[in-house]
Amino acid sequence: MFKQQDLMVRSLGGCRFPSPLCFAQPSEGKKSHFVSDSTRLRVNVEIGTKDCGPDEPSFEEAGPRERIYFDPSATTAAIVTCGGLSPGLNNVIRSVFYELTVNYGVNKVLGIRNGYLGLNPAAGLPPIRLTEEYVQSIDILGGTVLGTSRGGQKASVMADFLAAEKIDILFCVGGDGTQRGAHALHEEVLRRGLDIAVIGIPKTIDNDIAFVRQSFGYITAMEKAAEVIRGAHVEARGAIRGVGLVKLMGRDAGFIAAGAAVVSQEVNFVLVPEIAFPLQGQGGFLAALEQRMDKRGHAVVVVAEGAGQHLIESDNTRRDASGNLLHEDVGLFLKTRISEHFAASGQPVSLKYIDPSYFIRSVCANVYDRILCDQMGRHAVHAAMAGKTGMLIGFEHNQFINVPIPVVVAQKKQMDVTSDLWRAVLQVTRQPHW
């Protein structure tokens, strides 16, 4: 859906300085660890009938460049974390800091407090000067030491702040709303002719950012969600006609619900935003749940927060501070409808409802996500130091890529219900295909 010109990353100008990164080994070429701007990765890696031509859409490969735009000794960088929490935020902050200071030699790194609010002087939140003592142990903490908030600030106000603080690079860690704000800021900086790089680092526990196959925090979320599901299964089996109902994150995509169900292997129904399942009637969810209860005497249901909205009356106009559509609480809705259905049939159930969302968001990242955080943070620094701007670090085909932010925010990634992941869900649950 995009042309090649849409995927070209903007640069502040020619790279004037040799990179201080020198990790070449005697057995390898002197420049073997650098990536060329001309190295690109096809959007579609499937083998077709034609070769990859110059006009076929392709991404710029992420990684360190041999020459860089900013003079490290004279560069000031800043990091801002926005939106909801996700495991790994502190790991990203730490990795960006160390890549900037240890490998590139940047002397001044600032932490912007409480999201984009910290870029508005009226908020009275002066930035924090990050030091090794400040960041060295934050990787074992959940949340973000810089604080966060939802909602944006005027691009002109944020640009004034960057100019006043003499900030050369801003790393924006956040989801779609954050990246839209980063793009607006980038456009304002560009309009003023300022030498400031704006780089996005994708953060979404829901794993729903386009061109990011797997976002940091997602694997940790699946792991913790599977533990909760295990508890729900124990509760359901231990009660007479027990039902464990677990609501998980997933405003627009059911990746966490689906993945956790496959990991746990103890779920009987997975309800996701991508499938408008029927509630009533033959073949509906309640009838299928009743059949399960009659056969086995217990059940576990996992529902993503954005599922089932077609069943709930809503004006569909309420939005949060980040501009996201506010959904009705499908967990409480299903809790009521399940209880009413079985009470009316004369066979009531013992229903345990669990919503662990805020617990899962606040934990520290697991080993896999720590590695992913580190890689994304360092690739963001490579891009910034090379003078790239208005872009986000993507992750496709097991490769890190540089992607223009407008391309990223132009679409929402959802789970493919013809994919192997959803087929695995159907195998585990044996629920109707709907």
- Provide the CATH number for the domain around residue 186: 3.40.50.450
**Domain contains 104:** yes
Same domain, 169 and 261: no
Q: How far apart are CA 214 and CA 232, in angstroms?
A: 27
Give residue 142's pLDDT band: very low, low, confident or very high (50, 70, 90). very high
Q: What is the mean pLDDT of residues 228-233?
A: 96
pLDDT computed for residue 146 by the predictor: 96
Which has the higher per-residue pLDDT, 360 or 32? Answer: 360
Same domain, 14 and 50: yes
Q: What is the mean pLDDT of residues 185-214?
A: 94
The mean pLDDT value of the chain amounts to 91
Residue 198: which H helix or E strand, with range? strand 197-202
pLDDT computed for residue 107 by the predictor: 93
Q: If you ran DSSP here, which 8-state letter would residue 249 be given?
A: -
The rounded percent of the chain whose pLDDT value lies above 90 is 79
Task: Let me know: does 12 contact 69? Beta carbons within 8 Å.
Answer: yes
pLDDT computed for residue 398 by the predictor: 87
Q: What is the mean pLDDT of residues 216-220?
A: 94
Decide if pLDDT at 52 tops 90: no
pLDDT computed for residue 405 by the predictor: 94
Same domain, 278 and 395: no
Task: Let me know: does 77 contact 108? Beta carbons within 8 Å.
Answer: yes
Q: How far apart are CA 325 and CA 348, in angstroms?
A: 35
Residue of 150, 78, 85, 86 whose CA lies nearest to 108? 78
**Domain contains 227:** yes
Decide if pLDDT at 1 tops 70: no
Q: If you ran DSSP here, which 8-state letter would residue 103 be given?
A: I
Q: Which residues pair with 111 in a beta bridge?
A: 79, 128
Same domain, 35 and 177: yes
Same domain, 42 and 120: yes
Full strand arrangement of the beta sheet holding 108-112:
40-42, 58-61, 399-404, 391-396, 197-202, 169-174, 76-81, 108-112, 128-129
Same domain, 46 and 190: yes
Q: Which residues pair with 174 in a beta bridge?
A: 202
**Domain contains 187:** yes
Same domain, 288 and 394: no
Give residue 324's pLDDT band: very low, low, confident or very high (50, 70, 90). low
Decide if pLDDT at 45 tops 70: no
**Domain contains 152:** yes
DSSP SS3 for 267: coil
Same domain, 209 and 223: no
Decide if pLDDT at 384 tops 50: yes
Decide if pLDDT at 23 tops 80: no
Same domain, 84 and 32: yes
**Domain contains 434:** no
Same domain, 224 and 106: no
Decide if pLDDT at 168 tops 60: yes
pLDDT computed for residue 57 by the predictor: 84
Decide if pLDDT at 25 tops 90: no
pLDDT computed for residue 218 by the predictor: 94
Task: Please give the C-alpha separations between residue 373 and each of 161, 193, 245, 391, 399, in angstroms, as whole numbers.
Answer: 27, 32, 31, 17, 14
- CATH code at position 348: 3.40.50.460
Decide if pLDDT at 348 tops 50: yes
Pairing of strands 298-304, 242-248: parallel
Domain that holds residue 310: 218-362+417-429
Q: Which stretch of 88-92, 168-172, 405-409 has the lowest confidence by average pLDDT?
A: 405-409
pLDDT computed for residue 328 by the predictor: 82
The rounded percent of the chain whose pLDDT value lies above 70 is 92
Rg (the chain; Cα; Å) = 24
pLDDT computed for residue 33 by the predictor: 78
Q: What is the mean pLDDT of residues 23-33?
A: 64
pLDDT computed for residue 49 by the predictor: 45
Q: How far apart are CA 357 and CA 306, in angstroms?
A: 13
Residues annotated catalytic, as ranges:
206
Full strand arrangement of the beta sheet holding 242-248:
269-271, 298-304, 242-248, 350-354
Q: Please enumerate in sequence order all residues whose Cβ is within 8 A of that of 124, keeping only pairs 6 or more positions apart, or say none.
A: none
**Domain contains 346:** yes
Same domain, 119 and 151: yes
**Overall domain count for the chain:** 2
Neighbours of 428 (CB within 10 A): 18
**Domain contains 137:** yes
Q: What is the mean pLDDT of residues 59-75?
A: 93
Decide if pLDDT at 32 tops 80: no
Same domain, 358 and 385: no
Q: What is the mean pLDDT of residues 330-334?
A: 95
**Domain contains 118:** yes
Total residue count of the chain as it appears in this document: 434
What pTM was computed for the model? 0.90
pLDDT computed for residue 58 by the predictor: 83
